[in-house]
Structure 1
Amino acid sequence: MFEPPPPPRAPAHRGAAATDGSAGSSSGVPGAGELLQLLRDGQPRTRAELARITGLARSTVSLRVDALLASGLLAPSGEAASTGGRPPTRFALNPQARLVVGADLGATHGHVALADLTGRPLREVAEHVDISAGPIAVLDWVVATIRRLLDEADRNAEDLIGIGIGLPGPVEHSSGRPMRPPIMPGWDGYDVPGHVRRHWDVPVLVDNDVNIMALGEHVTAHAALDHLLFVKVATGIGAGIISGRRLLRGAVGAAGDLGHVAAPHAPDVLCRCGNTGCLEAVASGQAIIKHLTTAGVPATTNSDVVALVRGGNITAAHAVRQAGRTIGEVVATCVSLLNPELVVIGGSIAQAGESLIAGVREVVYGRSLPLATAHLQIVPATTGAQAGVIGAATMVIQHALAADRVDEALTRSDRGGGPHAAVKAP
């Protein structure tokens, strides 16, 4: 069951509460946007409960609630027990108020989902898409698929508050442009947000596909944890890093690029990035396929590898286990540097079962310091193929429903922008 990420803690009351409905930023009194953060956990609350949690005056809370109700972001959600008189109404985030799009693009696949404001996919399409076809062909497919999903859901484009896209290569998150991606010819520096915004004037956020998978796995299955490392093993190898509940991207979006770390004790194998001995060159799905083919075991896709392991092929199981050991040597270093609470292994090769993860565990637990591994768990991903689209949608939701953006959008709505002006700030 998908759960939204926990909201920030309620701000402590500082000074006299505002009662005039202003945002109150100068006095430290939270505005409607901060009130919404409390209600993003899905737990309905009454005005009195919100006043007690925030320390605000009941009149201030009522003004904030009324503004959010008018925008549609908040909706009544049952009644609390009466203590005499009319039972008070509870309120909660209205997940259906707006829509977001999450798109996960891999080397050979495209997955697009229309999601609600909790990130839950409502409708989705997954097809074979070749990233090497170039940005125009691939992004035109994304645009056409979004139109198709909106039509199928019978929803208007005005309901859309943002689009999140994951790409299989380094991305400068601030601009949404791929940065010298090794498997994406023609994509370097391409204005991905600009291409999509020709069709919808909404925020378009772009990130590396492993980052959005890490975000999707975190909010879906491990929202209570502060520190998580997600490792994707598929056509390539990469990692997404959650530290202090925040996604770490690095200076230019290259954080977590495990696939092009030199693998210890690896043979001098040429990698598609131009270097030799990269982890991806010796332990990715493509490397395993090459090994099996050399050994006389027919395999041409990652799905073939998974089927062979599940079917009991000893050569395939041994190759995947050894790939896990090799990956574990690099992950052990990550564990020492980052000290995560959890390492999640995902990607298509991880679907082979315990062979890959057993190899990773074998080396990480043997090589890392006991202090770092005393409570460390290494587990398979639980979100499967939806991790990327959920993560991409969540990335947009976190951006669009941030407290300051909600307050700005509500102000624009009051000035005549209409209810759909809310949470549409770029």
Structure 2
Amino acid sequence: MVESEVAVAPTRDRTLPGTETGPGGLLQLLRDGRARTRADLVAETGQSRSTIATRVDALLATGLVASVGSRASTGGRPPTAFAFDPTSRVVLGVDLGAAHGRLAVTDLAGSILAEHAEPVRISDAPEKVLGWVARTGHELLDRAGRPSTDLAGLGLGLPGPVEHSTGRPVDPPIMPGWHGVDVPGILGAHFAAPILVDNDVNLMALGEHAMGFPDVDDLLFVKVATGIGAGIIADGELRRGAQGAAGDLGHMAVPGGEPRLCTCGNTGCVEALASGNAIATKLREAGIDATTSDDVVALVRAGDPTATATLRQAGRELGAVLAGTVSLLNPSVVVIGGSLSAAGEQLLAGIREVVYARSLPLATQHLQIVGTRTARQAAVLGASVLASDFALSTARIDALTAP
């Protein structure tokens, strides 16, 4: 048994990087990867030479900052330059979907060092699924050649609502037996590192933002797979809402939509009409053999006209819901991800058709509606970002370097 902790990801530091009072603040400045000398850091932060020297030494002792050579001398001893070393620690990202599990060991910059995916049923007992996560996580650490002591954190995404402050699922519709389960506590028995748990679509939004659109401050990520959900990046930050339910797009009603029963108990939800399961059901009703989102994708790629038309209509139905969301949130980019996005342009075309027609012109003037750039790795990359940001937070580093 090992000891761990329940971790809550910090909100983004509001002060300028490097201006906080401790070593943690200085690390935020160095996280851009650019090498700086002590004199550079004095100039950028306005702090004294002795203060900068003390803080640099503290960061060097952690291994998170390393010497990267000397600059040309203007007289006297050449100054040494320092930079953030993202390879000094690793994090473990975990993506659990309705029928899949994917894990990746990454460095602190999100570069994947080892990865594994296989079919996993989230409807199985939590102890069984999380036991698989623990075993596979340690196997990946071994494959990456990193000892468990190098693990700075673990981020995990679940396909249902999560109480962010505790990491416990809350009445997840497709996860029987998971309500209130102490996910961080169970995994904490296997990993001596902070455990952070969030909804999988939130992590997809984080991953897509960090790795696909780092310069975009307002982004909406929409997952279209077994279910439908959204992750919201606004002003560069993930927005979870008051109880963590922000982005629950799948249970918004499609205007004028067919009153099909949804898993939530209501009728006409976009998830009941446009998800991978919903499309597969419609195809079966038309006499076409389809069970999963992957079946739908295969049929569309093979040129099946009924599957193609059904997918395009699903895009229109999703677009009818997204039109109001775009007018409300005014994102710069809407990213369509999830397994159904692999079908290509037909889904996107249906969404664009309705969003551009129904949303406010000002909101769509420069709006991009595009496919995912991180594909099936979005959630594990987002989990990596979640864990890394916690491990490298100002408060965490100040505590780590405290005398």
CA drift of 1:300 comes to 2.2
Distance in 1, Cα, partners of 2:254 & 2:171: 22
- Structure 1 residue ranges (4+ consecutive) displaced by more than 6 angstroms after TM superposition: 6-9
> 3-state DSSP class of the match of 2:266?
coil
> 3-state DSSP class of the match of 1:154?
coil
CA drift of 1:80 comes to 2.4
Residue 127 of structure 1 corresponds to which residue in structure 2?
118
Distance in 2, Cα, partners of 1:324 & 1:350: 10
1 or 2 for the larger relative contact order (CA 8 Å, sep ≥6)? Answer: 2
1:30-60 deviation digits (Å, cap 9, x = unpaired) = 3111110011111111111111111112221
Name the CA shift for 1:7/1:87 in 2 (closer, same or farther; >3 Å): farther
Distance in 1, Cα, partners of 2:46 & 2:89: 29
Distance in 1, Cα, partners of 2:276 & 2:137: 30
Residue 390 of structure 1 corresponds to which residue in structure 2?
381
Which residue, 85, 88, 94 being the options, matches 2:85? Answer: 94
Unaligned runs of 5+ in 2: 1-11
Which residue, 55, 62, 66 being the options, matches 2:53? Answer: 62
What CA RMSD, in Å, does the superposition of the two structures yield over aligned residues?
A: 1.6
Distance in 1, Cα, partners of 2:36 & 2:379: 31
CA drift of 1:7 comes to 8.8
> 3-state DSSP class of the match of 1:196?
helix
CA drift of 1:159 comes to 1.1
> 3-state DSSP class of the match of 2:69?
strand
> 3-state DSSP class of the match of 2:66?
strand
CA drift of 1:259 comes to 0.8
CA drift of 1:153 comes to 2.2
Which residue, 263, 281, 303 being the options, matches 2:272? Answer: 281
Residue 343 of structure 1 corresponds to which residue in structure 2?
334
The size of the alignment, in residue pairs, is: 392
Residue 282 of structure 2 corresponds to which residue in structure 1?
291
> 3-state DSSP class of the match of 1:101?
strand
Residue 257 of structure 1 corresponds to which residue in structure 2?
248
Q: Tell me if 1:161 matches 2:162.
A: no
**Range that drifts further, 125-134 or 290-299:** 290-299
TM-score with structure 2 setting the length: 0.94
Q: Tell me if 1:144 matches 2:135.
A: yes
Which residue, 334, 340, 346 being the options, matches 2:325? Answer: 334
CA drift of 1:154 comes to 2.8
CA drift of 1:277 comes to 1.3
> 3-state DSSP class of the match of 2:401?
helix
> 3-state DSSP class of the match of 1:406?
helix
The answer as to whether partners of 1:235 and 1:284 remain within 8 angstroms in 2 is yes
Distance in 2, Cα, partners of 1:110 & 1:173: 21
Matched residue type, 2:191: W
Distance in 1, Cα, partners of 2:154 & 2:25: 23
Distance in 1, Cα, partners of 2:374 & 2:74: 43
1:331-410 pair list within 5 angstroms: 331-410=322-401
CA drift of 1:93 comes to 1.1
Distance in 2, Cα, partners of 1:83 & 1:338: 52
CA drift of 1:306 comes to 1.2
Residue 20 of structure 1 corresponds to which residue in structure 2?
none
Residue 203 of structure 1 corresponds to which residue in structure 2?
194
Residue 248 of structure 1 corresponds to which residue in structure 2?
239
Residue 7 of structure 2 corresponds to which residue in structure 1?
none
Which residue, 186, 189, 213 being the options, matches 2:204? Answer: 213
CA drift of 1:118 comes to 1.0
Distance in 2, Cα, partners of 1:140 & 1:331: 38
1:171-204 deviation digits (Å, cap 9, x = unpaired) = 0011101010100000011110010011223211
Which residue, 95, 103, 106 being the options, matches 2:94? Answer: 103
The answer as to whether partners of 1:7 and 1:38 remain within 8 angstroms in 2 is no
CA drift of 1:381 comes to 0.7
> 3-state DSSP class of the match of 1:185?
coil
Q: How high is the sequence identity, in percent, across the aligned residues?
A: 59
Residue 64 of structure 2 corresponds to which residue in structure 1?
73
Distance in 2, Cα, partners of 1:364 & 1:71: 49
The answer as to whether partners of 1:182 and 1:273 remain within 8 angstroms in 2 is yes
1:116-164 deviation digits (Å, cap 9, x = unpaired) = 1112221011010000002111100000011111222232211111111
> 3-state DSSP class of the match of 1:114?
strand
> 3-state DSSP class of the match of 1:131?
coil
Distance in 2, Cα, partners of 1:249 & 1:154: 35
> 3-state DSSP class of the match of 1:53?
helix
Matched residue type, 1:277: G
Unaligned runs of 5+ in 1: 1-5, 14-28, 415-426
Distance in 1, Cα, partners of 2:43 & 2:358: 50
CA drift of 1:240 comes to 0.1
Residue 23 of structure 1 corresponds to which residue in structure 2?
none
Which residue, 216, 219, 232 being the options, matches 1:228? Answer: 219
